[in-house]
Amino acid sequence: MAFSGIILAGGRSSRMGRDKTLLMVENETLIERTVKELREVTDDIIIASNATDKYGLPGVREVPDIFPEMGPLGGLYAGLLAARYDDVFAVAADMPYFSARLATYLLGRKGGHDAVVPRTGEDWEPLCAVYSRACVGPIERCLLAGIRKVYRFYPEVKVLAVTGEELGAAGLPANMFFNLNAPQDLDLLRRKKASGDGPEVSGASAQVSQI
């Protein structure tokens, strides 16, 4: 199945105090790592980042928000409109454990659904999920109403919820949804690395590299 990849990278990183997408993990920035994973499964990668030339990565398109200040939902909307294919896999740019295997698995479950979204317990994982172009209208209505929560448009589309148990049975660990929001998350990631359960974050305070 041909699909586009959308990397949601428009956040302000206010809690982190620095641009999360440029944190170095295993000698590459988070944005570079995410692009590398998506390149394994798609030839159409879009970064929704409120910019058009922030990263300058070869073969990657950058699109600004159409609805400014509306968070990831605004980025998802802009990415869907720019996508070359009808189906997309959207992922936040701050997930150091993300693997292309997750995108492949969720896309394989799509069938006749408009969205395929992991759900661990009662919590959706909307920033690491599959969406189709059929979601554009419902997303636009939410944005016009000032609604920012991604899952709020789900009642208007056909959504398949994929449980943590299903993902585990497919060999996809729950830590794929771990994201870096604040300095304490970096500390946790370092502890995981020290115990052999995580990628390396370079520098005592997570060095930032300019691309």
Domain-by-domain residue ranges, the chain? 4-194
Cα angle 207, 209, 210; round to 5: 155
Which range (43-47, 64-68, 149-153) has the least confidence? 64-68
Q: Do strands 4-8 and 45-48 pair parallel, antiparallel, or not at all (unpaired)? A: parallel
Tokens at 28, concatenated: 């590459």
Tokens at 7, concatenated: 């990397």
pLDDT at 120: 87
pLDDT over 70 at 2, yes or no:
yes
| Contact (Cβ atoms closer than 8 angstroms) between residue 79 and residue 90 | yes
pLDDT over 70 at 205, yes or no:
no
pLDDT at 1: 79
Report d(CA 8, CA 121) in Å as an integer. Answer: 24
Q: Mean per-residue pLDDT for 65-88?
A: 95
pLDDT over 80 at 56, yes or no:
yes
DSSP 6: E
Average model confidence (pLDDT) across the chain: 85
Question: What's the whole-model pTM score?
Answer: 0.86
Distance of CA 9 to the CA centre of its chain: 8
Q: What DSSP element (H or E) covers 142? A: helix 136-144
Distance of CA 164 to the CA centre of its chain: 17
pLDDT over 90 at 159, yes or no:
yes
Q: Mean per-residue pLDDT for 188-198?
A: 58
Report d(CA 77, CA 42) in Å as an integer. Answer: 19
Q: Which residue has the higher pLDDT, 9 or 190?
A: 9
Band of pLDDT at residue 25, cut at 50, 70 and 90:
confident
Q: Determine the CATH number of domain 4-194.
A: 3.90.550.10
DSSP 201: B
Cβ atoms within 10 Å, residue 142: 22
